[in-house]
Amino acid sequence: MNVISDMMAYEFNQRALLAAVMIGFLNGYVGGYVVLRRGALFAGSLSHTLFPGVALGALIAGLNPYSALLGAFLTAMVIGLGSQSVSANSRIDRDAALAILYTAASAVGILILKKTTTNVRVEEYLFGNILGIGDWDLWFMCVAGVLVLSVLILLQRPLLIFVFSRDIAATQGIRIRLMDYLLAAVVVVTMVTSLQAVGTLLAIGLLVAPAATLYLYLDSPRAILWGGGALGVVLAVASVVVSNVANVQTGPVMVILLAVCFLLGFTCSPRYGLLAVLRAKRVPQDR
Amino acid sequence: MSDATCAHADHVLKIDGLHVHYGAICALHDVSLALNCGTAVALIGGNGAGKSTLMKRMVGLVPPSTGRVIWRGQPVTRSTHEIAYLPQRADINWDFPMTVRGVVEMGRYPLLGPWTPFAKKDHDAVDAALATMRIEDLAARQIGALSGGQQQRALIARALAQEAHVLLLDEPFAGLDPPAQNLLAGLLRDLASSGHLVLAAHHDLTTVEAIFDEVVLLNRRLIAKGPSATTLTQSNLTQAFGAPV
C-alpha cells in the first residue's frame, strides 16, 4: 500500500492512473467488437496511420498535443473510412485497400519527418508517455470515451447481429455499410484517445488483447465487451504501478502485461486453452 | 400438406418478372412464380442456376433489379421480420462466443428494436422456438459445439423466434449425416404443416419427394414449378441441370 500512497502523492501519477482507468476501459470495450468482428488486422493496419498523422499535424501546426491528436485523428479517419469506401465500391477487399492507403500515409509521414526538425519529439508518440498526461488530455479521453461508449451501448443489438452475420443483419434491415463505417470510426477515436498514453506502436495491443484474452474464456459477447473493459482497467492500472516501481516506461509494460495475460489464457483457459484442447484430443484416443 | 386452420396458410409470396445481373452476367432472367405458405418447396438447379441469388433477392441481399417481390399483396421494399433468410452454414462464424439461446434471442431483436427490454412473451417465444426445433437441451451450449444438424436447427429456431412466416434456407442439408437429415426433414415438414412457407435450395434429388411438396426448377430462368411427384421429369431435370441427370 505504501507504493500506491507514495505514487498518489504526485499529481502526474494521479493523472496517469485516471488516464489508465479511462483508456483501459474504452480500449477493452471497443476491442470486444474488433475481436468479435475479426477485425484485428484492420485495426492494426489502421494504427500505423496514427504516426504519419502526428507528423502531418506537426508539419502544419507545429508539434503540440492538439495538432498531434487532430493530425492522427483526421489521417486515420480518412484512411480508415476511405478503405471501407474502396472495398464497398470495388472488388478490392477492405484489408487490401487499407494496406495500400496506410503504407502511402507512412511514406508521406517519413518524408515529412525528414523535412521537419521535430523528429525527436514526434517520436515520443511512438511509445507514448502516460506520465506526461495533462488536464486537457484527460478531458479529451473522458469526452471521447463517453461518446464512443454511448454509441456502442445504444446500438448494441444491431452491432451484435452485424458482427455475428452480415447477411442476417442485412436481412433484418441493419445498414451494414453504416456499421462498417461506425466500427472503423470508433476504432480510430479509441486509438487516438490512447495516443498520448501508449503511443502509436502499442495502441493496437491495448485495443485487442483484453477482449482476445476473454474470448478464450467466455461464451457471451456482452461479457466479453464489459469484461474486456474491466480487464483493460485492471491491466492498465497495474502497468502504471509496475512501471512506477520499476522506473520504466508504462506503454511497453502495459502491452507486455496484456501479452502475458493473453498467453496465460491461450494455454490455460479451461475450455478453449491449448492444454484443454490437447486434453480433449487425447481422451478419445485413450478409449 | 397445406393446413386450412394454420395461422398464415393463405399468405402468398410472389415473384414477378425478376431479373438479376452481376455486371454483364445474367444470374436470373424473367422469373415469375407464386409460393403459398403451408408448403415446403425445393429450389433445384445446378451450380450457378441462381438458387441462392433468387433467395437473396427476396430479402434484399442482392441489389434491386427489375421485377418485384410481393408478400401478402404488397411489394417488398424493405426488410420484414416475416421473411427470414438462413445463410449456408459455411457462411457463419461458428466460433462466435454465443450460446444457442443467445443466437435464438437475436431473432427477437427486429421485433423489439434496439432498446426495448425482453418481456415474458419474448422469453416464451425463444423457449417455444427452441422446443419446436428440439434443441432446448442445447440452449446453454456454445454454437460451435453443435453438430451440423443442430447448428441448422439453431438457425431455424432464430428465424422462428423472429416470427418469420417464410423461411429461405440455403442448402440446409449440406454436410449432414442421414439421421440428422431425417430429423431436419421431419421438422421442415412440421413447419410447413404449421403454416410456414419453407423454401430450400436442395441438391439431393433422391430425397426431394419425401421432404418437399413442391419443386421449383431453375436454370437462370424458371424451368418448371409444381408438385414434386409430377414435376421432376427427366426433361425438366435435363433443362435445369443443362445435361441429363
Rounded-to-integer distance, Cα B159 and Cα B188, Å: 13
- For A122-175, write each residue's pLDDT tens digit: 667 888 889 889 898 999 999 999 999 999 999 999 999 999 999 999 998 899
- For A5-55, write each residue's pLDDT tens digit: 888 888 999 999 999 999 999 999 999 999 999 988 889 889 989 988 988
- pLDDT of B64 higher than 80: no
- Contact state of A164 with B83 under an 8 Å Cβ cutoff: no
- Contact state of B61 with A224 under an 8 Å Cβ cutoff: no
Stretch 35-74 of chain B: residues touching chain A, C-beta under 8 Å: 59-61
- For B153-193, write each residue's pLDDT tens digit: 999 999 999 999 999 999 999 889 999 999 999 999 999 99
Structural domain range at position B47: 1-79+207-245
- pLDDT of B4 higher than 50: no
Quick check: is B169 in a domain?
no
Quick check: is B235 in a domain?
yes
B184 within 8 A of B86, measured Cβ to Cβ:
no
Q: In sequence order, what are the residues at sequence separation of 6 or more whose Cβ sits closer than 8 angstroms to the Cβ of residue A27?
A: A190, A194, A203, A206, A207, A210, A232, A236
Quick check: is B194 in a domain?
no
CATH number of the domain enclosing B220: 3.40.50.300
Burial of B147: CB neighbours in 10 Å, binned 0-12, 13-18, 19+: middle
| Closest CA–CA distance from residue A268 to any residue of chain B (Å) | 18
- Residue B140: all three cell numbers together: 446453454
Residue in B with minimal Cα distance to A216 = B97
Give the three-state DSSP class for B20: strand
Shortest CA distance to A236 belongs to which of A5, A11, A25?
A25
Best of A161, A166, A171, A222 to substitute, by most chain B Cβ atoms within 10 angstroms, is A171
Residue B3 confidence (pLDDT): 41
Quick check: is B13 in a domain?
yes
Q: Does B84 contact A at CB distance below 8 Å? A: yes
Quick check: is B230 in a domain?
yes
**Domains assigned to chain A:** 2-207 (1.10.3470.10)
Residue A262 confidence (pLDDT): 96
| Closest CA–CA distance from residue B162 to any residue of chain A (Å) | 10
Rounded-to-integer distance, Cα A41 and Cα A43, Å: 5
- Out of A154, A168, A221, the one facing B97 most closely (by C-beta) is A221
| Closest CA–CA distance from residue B13 to any residue of chain A (Å) | 16
Q: Does B102 contact A at CB distance below 8 Å? A: yes
- For B119-147, write each residue's pLDDT tens digit: 999 999 999 999 999 999 999 999 999 99
Q: Given pLDDT bands bounded at 50, 70 and 90, which one contains residue B1?
A: very low
Quick check: is B84 in a domain?
no
Stretch 106-125 of chain B: residues touching chain A, C-beta under 8 Å: 106, 109-110, 112-115
Quick check: is B160 in a domain?
no
Provide the domain count of chain B.
Answer: 1
Quick check: is B117 in a domain?
no
The pTM score is 0.89
B36 within 8 A of B197, measured Cβ to Cβ:
yes
Residue A117 confidence (pLDDT): 65
The more confident residue out of A219 and B6 is A219
Pairing of strands B68-71, B74-75: antiparallel
Show the DSSP H helices in B133-233 as ranges.
148-161, 178-193, 208-211, 228-231
- Out of B78, B84, B102, the one facing A173 most closely (by C-beta) is B78
